[in-house]
Structure 1
Amino acid sequence: MQYRHLLASTLLAAAGFAQAQDLVILPAPADAWRVTVGHWESQAELKGGGVVAPTPKADYASASHAGASAHVTAGRRDALTFEWRDLWQSMLRVESRSPMDLRPFAGGTLEFDLHVAELDKGGLSVKVGCGSGCERAVNLIDPARGWTGKGWQHVALSMSCFVRDGADFSAVTLPFALEATGSGRVSVANVRIGRAAKPGLACPDYRSESVTPALLNESWSIDWWRPRHEQKLQEKRQLVAAGTPPEVVFIGDSITQGWEKEGREVWQRHFAPLHGLALGFGGDRTENVLWRLQHGEIDGIAPKAVVLMIGTNNTGHRAENPETTAAGIKRLLDEIRQRLPQAQVLLLAVFPRGEKPDDVLRGINQRVNNIIQGYADGRSVHFLDIGAALLQPDGTLSKAVMPDLLHPNERGYEIWQRAMAPTLDKLMGTAR
C-alpha cells in the first residue's frame, strides 16, 4: 500500500488512514519514509534491515563508519539504530517522498524516545527542515551524554526551536534527522510532531545567540577548548612577566589559530618579534570569543593593535542571518574597546569560503562584511577586506591557497600578512 502524507487536514496514523492531530514518523510502514545514513560525502538508503554508508575518501576518515538498522515488526519500522565512528559529521535522515506542509505544526512539539548506548566520544543534534536548503538543529550533547546506558528516554522539543526568520515550512521534505559527530550509537523510536505546544519547553532566542557568551560545546571541542583557554591565559602571563607584553593580539577562530600551525613560519618572521599573542580557537563563533574575552584573555595587557576576524563559523554552523552575526561582531568590538581602550582595532572582513563566487556560505559572509565595514570609525576601529588577494581573477578560491576552501595554508598566510601589513604597520606606528 502506498502512503501519502496529507497534512492539510488528514494525517496518517501509525495504524492506517485515520484522523490524527500528530504527524507520526515512527512507527511507520517501511516504505512510508526514505531513511538514509551517511556523512558529508555520501549517503546510503536503508531499504532492508541495515545499511552502511560508503567510507569517505579522505585518508583521515579511512577507518570511519556510518550505518543504520531498523527494528521491523509486521512490515512496520518501530525503531531505528544509528551508529557512527570517527566522523566529524554524520547523519541519519528521515525524509518525505514528497514535500509536506508543516506550517500547522510550527507552534507544536517534536517528541521521540531515545536510547543512548554510547556517546562519550560523540555529539548529537536533532534537525528539522525549514524549506529549500534550510535545516535547523538543536544540540543534545549534554543531556544525551547523561542518558548513556540509562535506557529509553523521552525527548520533547518545541518546534519553535527550529523556526527562524525567512523559514518556509510550506514544503518540507525533512521532518526529522539526527546529526552526529565523533563516535556513538543511539536508537530512536516513537517519533511524532504534534500541533499542540507543551508548557516548559523553552528555546534560546536564536536572535541573541551570537551576543550571549558561551563555551564552545561540541563533541570535538569539549576535551581541549577550556584547557586551551587556560593555556592562553598562562601564555599571556608569561609574556608580561618576561617584560615582553604583546604588542599585537590576533582574535578569532581556527583561521587565526592557524598562525600556530600552517602559518607558523610567517608568524615567526613577522609577529613573534612583536611578542604577538594569537587567540584563535577552532570552531569558535562570536559568542564563544565573547566568553573568552570576558574570562581574562585580554586583561592586564596593552597591545598597540588588535586584529579581529570572526564569523565564518556562525555562517557555516548555523547559516545565520548576516545581521545576527554582525551583531555578535559589534558586541566583540565593544568588549575589546572596553578592555583595551588604547589599542587600535583592525577589523578584518570575514575571508571568502567555497570554491565559486556563488557559494551560498560565501554569500552570507559577504553580506556580513557589508554590514561590519560600517563599524569602522577611522579613529580606533579600522576595517580591511583582503578577500580579493586570496581569490583568483575570476573570483574562484584556489586549493593552492586554501586546500579545504576555508583554511589557508602557508601560502595563504603569506598572502594575509602581505595584504594586511601596510594597514597594520600604520596602526602600530611602524609604517616605513
Structure 2
Amino acid sequence: MIPAATLALLLAAGPGAHADPPAIGAAGDSCTTVPAMPAIIRDYHLQTLAARTANRPYPRAPAEAAKAYSAWQRSLRDTDFAGQCRYREANRLLGERPEVVFFGDSITEAWPDVSPGFFPARWINRGIAGQTTAQMIGRFRADVIDLHPASVHILAGINDIAGATGPATLDQIAGNIASMAELARLHGIRVVLGTLLPAGAWQGDDHADRAAAVAALNDWLRRYAAAQGITLIDYHPALVAAGDGMAADLSADGIHPNARGYTVMERTARAALP
C-alpha cells in the first residue's frame, strides 16, 4: 500500500501531476481475435434482461446455452483476459469527460439496460459480466483513468468469491479493490465503493459459504472506506432477506437485481453520487 504521506502529496498535486505514459505502438491489433458473443447466448441474455426489466422470472435457458457460455468465457480469457477490447471503441468515441464511471461486473453492466432512467448522459457504464477483480485491474487504466472522470463507482468481488478465474483469497480480493481505489485517488478521481450484494442463494440453492465470504468482504469494505475517507454505499442491508440471500421480489435468480432491485440500489446510492 502507498504510504499515507506519499499519497497525500500526490493527491495535493492533483491529476495534472500524473502524465499519461507515452504510447509504444503495436505490430498488430489483438482485439481482432476476440470472439463475439455467440447468438444463442446473446438471445438468452436479451430474454433475461427483458424479464428483469419487467420483474418476471427468468425464462428457461436452452440446454446448449450453458455449454456455449463456458466455452466463450474460456476463449475470452485466452484472447483478452482483462477485457480491454470490450469498451475500446466506446472510449475512443467518448466526447466530454464523464462525471461518473460505473466499474464492475454483470450487476454493473446490466444496470442501465434494466433501469435506464437512473443514468444521466455523463454517467457511463464500464461493467463486464463475469469479471473478477484480477481482470478489472488489467483494464482500470483504459476504462477509468484514461477517461479522467470526476468519480468512479466500484462494485466488485462476487465473481472472485465464485472462483470465476480460479481460487482467490479474501485478502487477494481486498488487495485488488484497494489497488484500484489507490490508483483512482492518485489520478484525482473520487472513489465510491459499493458493498457486495447478497449472494446466499443461487437459483434456489443455498450457498452459505459464499454468504459468509460476502459478509467478510463487506465488513472489510466498510472498515477500509472509513479508514481511508472513501465514500461507501452499503447496498447489502437494503437488499438482503432471511438466509443471507437477496429478497425474492428483488431478483429473479438470487444474484442479479431486477428493476425493483435496482430501484432499491438507486435509493441507497443517490445521496452518495453527484
TM-aligned CA deviation for residue 380 of structure 1: 5.7
Determine helix, strand or coil for the equivalent of 1:346.
strand
In the superposition, relative to structure 1, how do residues 231 and 383 fare at CA in structure 2: closer, same or farther (>3 Å)? same
TM-aligned CA deviation for residue 285 of structure 1: 0.7
TM-aligned CA deviation for residue 363 of structure 1: 1.1
Does structure 2 retain, via aligned residues, the 8 Å contact 1:245–1:301? Answer: yes
Q: Could you say which residue in structure 1 is the equivalent of 2:85?
A: 230
Q: Could you say which residue in structure 2 is the equivalent of 1:412?
A: 261
Are 1:398 and 2:253 matched, yes or no?
Answer: no
Separation in structure 2 between the aligned mates of residue 423 and residue 245 of structure 1, nearest angstrom: 20
In the superposition, relative to structure 1, how do residues 380 and 246 fare at CA in structure 2: closer, same or farther (>3 Å)? farther
In the superposition, relative to structure 1, how do residues 406 and 394 fare at CA in structure 2: closer, same or farther (>3 Å)? closer
What TM-score do you get using the length of structure 1 for normalisation?
0.44
Q: Could you say which residue in structure 2 is the equivalent of 1:373?
A: 222
Separation in structure 1 between the aligned mates of residue 256 and residue 84 of structure 2, nearest angstrom: 21
Aligned with residue 100 of structure 2, among 232, 248, 273: 248
Separation in structure 2 between the aligned mates of residue 394 and residue 312 of structure 1, nearest angstrom: 17
Q: How many residue pairs were aligned?
A: 211
Does structure 2 retain, via aligned residues, the 8 Å contact 1:322–1:365? Answer: no
Structure 1 residue ranges, 4+ long, deviating more than 4 angstroms after superposition: 222-228, 377-380, 393-396
TM-aligned CA deviation for residue 332 of structure 1: 1.5
* Correspondence 1:329-344 to 2 at 5 A: 329-338=177-186, 340-341=187-188, 343-344=189-190
Separation in structure 1 between the aligned mates of residue 128 and residue 173 of structure 2, nearest angstrom: 17
- Report % sequence identity: 21
Cα RMSD (Å): 3.0
* Correspondence 1:142-157 to 2 at 5 A: none
In the superposition, relative to structure 1, how do residues 239 and 391 fare at CA in structure 2: closer, same or farther (>3 Å)? same
Q: Could you say which residue in structure 2 is the equivalent of 1:307?
A: 153
Select the structure that is richer in helix: 2
In the superposition, relative to structure 1, how do residues 327 and 309 fare at CA in structure 2: closer, same or farther (>3 Å)? same
Q: Could you say which residue in structure 2 is the equivalent of 1:75?
A: none
Q: Could you say which residue in structure 1 is the equivalent of 2:19?
A: none
Instruction: Identify unmatched segments of 5+ residues in structure 1.
Output: 1-57, 65-85, 89-120, 123-180, 184-217
Deviations 1:56-87 (A, max 9, x none): xx73233x3xxxxxxxxxxxxxxxxxxxxx43
Instruction: Identify unmatched segments of 5+ residues in structure 2.
Output: 1-58
TM-aligned CA deviation for residue 256 of structure 1: 0.7
TM-aligned CA deviation for residue 270 of structure 1: 2.6
Larger RCO, structure (CA 8 Å, separation 6 or more):
2
What TM-score do you get using the length of structure 2 for normalisation?
0.66
Separation in structure 2 between the aligned mates of residue 238 and residue 412 of structure 1, nearest angstrom: 31
Aligned with residue 87 of structure 1, among 59, 63, 66: 66
Determine helix, strand or coil for the equivalent of 1:60.
coil
Select the structure that is richer in strand: 1
Aligned with residue 360 of structure 1, among 189, 194, 209: 209
Separation in structure 2 between the aligned mates of residue 227 and residue 320 of structure 1, nearest angstrom: 16
Separation in structure 1 between the aligned mates of residue 211 and residue 160 of structure 2, nearest angstrom: 12
Greater Cα radius of gyration, structure 1 or 2: 1
Does structure 1 retain, via aligned residues, the 8 Å contact 2:152–2:192? Answer: yes
